[in-house]
Amino acid sequence: MSTFIAVLFWFSTAVIILGLAYKIRQYWVTPAPLKIPTTPAPTTKTGVVLRMAREVVVFESLFKSNLWIWIFGWMFHVSLFLVLARHLRYFQEQPWFLVNIVQPFGKYAAFGMVIGLLGLLARRIFVDRVRYISSPSDYLMLIMLIVIGVSGMVMSFIQHTDIIAVKEFFLAWMGFSIAELPDSLPLIIHLVMVAVLLFIFPFSKLLHAPGVFFSPTRNQVDNPREQRHLSDWAAKLESDKPQG
């Protein structure tokens, strides 16, 4: 089982790294030929950085849009951030100071994460408009995240696992060797689901994470009159232009 998990994680980690690198490169090299920021938009680069920061940290547009989705969505994402920060201790011999600080918060953030996810799932099932636009994969993804959260909580609060052994496994895993994992069903479920999540990341809507930074309606400076904006493929059309 330990071998299986280790190989699975090497594989899915490679997939998410290469997949994300490929997608980010695609977003990077694909031109945005026209200035399309949703206005009113910042007129400076600093303004754009602040707009993006508000979007990523407090979900500004979503807040304007729908308070329920914002509450559940923001609760989930902030909790996930804390939980992930807490998990860094499995990958560091001596966890950073901040990783130590975050431990108690990350532990209880699991509740925020699962409650947020359940809220989102409930909306998907009970709001007719959201139900209409949902595919099976939209439900599966929420369920998978809930299983990851709940299995983690089981290990934290009910059926403790030998986390020292888990840490040794991942420290060895990072050095491309295999150590023994504790024999624990919640742990196996947890890890397999995480590996699957890593694997599907670059092929699914989870791409919203890098995507938001490349969204031209949010990351463009509103200065089209001051600065001429011309993409490479559009520049090729320039030859027939009447000259002044």
Which helix (H) or strand (E) covers residue 239, if one does? none
User: Does 81 interact with another protein (rule: CB under 8 A)?
Assistant: no
Tell me the helix, strand and coil percentages in the chain, rounded to 5: 75, 0, 25
Give me Rg for the CA atoms of the chain: 22
Give me the 150-179 binding string for another protein, x by CB under 8 A, dash otherwise. Answer: ------------------------------
Would you say 156 or 215 has its CB closer to another protein?
A: 215
Report the C-alpha gap between 188 and 173 in whole angstroms.
16
Give me the 190-219 binding string for another protein, x by CB under 8 A, dash otherwise. Answer: ----------x--xxx-xx--xx-xxxxx-
- In the complex, the smallest distance separating the C-beta of residue 14 from another protein, rounded to whole angstroms, is 15
Structure-block tokens of residue 159: 């059926």
Give me the 119-138 binding string for another protein, x by CB under 8 A, dash otherwise. Answer: -x--xx--xxxx-xxxxxxx
Which helix (H) or strand (E) covers residue 82, if one does? helix 67-87
- Contacts of residue 148, Cβ cutoff 8 Å, sequence gap at least 6: 190, 193, 194, 197
Q: Residue 40 — φ and ψ, nearest 5°?
A: -65, 135
Report the C-alpha gap between 164 and 169 in whole angstroms.
9
Segment lying near another protein (by CB under 8 A), choices 4-12, 96-104, 169-177, 220-228: 220-228
User: Does 14 interact with another protein (rule: CB under 8 A)?
Assistant: no
User: Residues 102, 105, 108, 111: what is their CA dihedral angle, to the nearest 10 degrees?
Assistant: -100
- In the complex, the smallest distance separating the C-beta of residue 221 from another protein, rounded to whole angstroms, is 11
Would you say 94 or 243 has its CB closer to another protein?
A: 243
* Residues binding another protein (CB under 8 A): 23, 26-27, 30-36, 38-43, 55, 59, 61-62, 64-66, 69, 73, 120, 123-124, 127-130, 132-138, 140, 200, 203-205, 207-208, 211-212, 214-218, 222, 224-225, 227-230, 233-234, 237, 241-242, 244
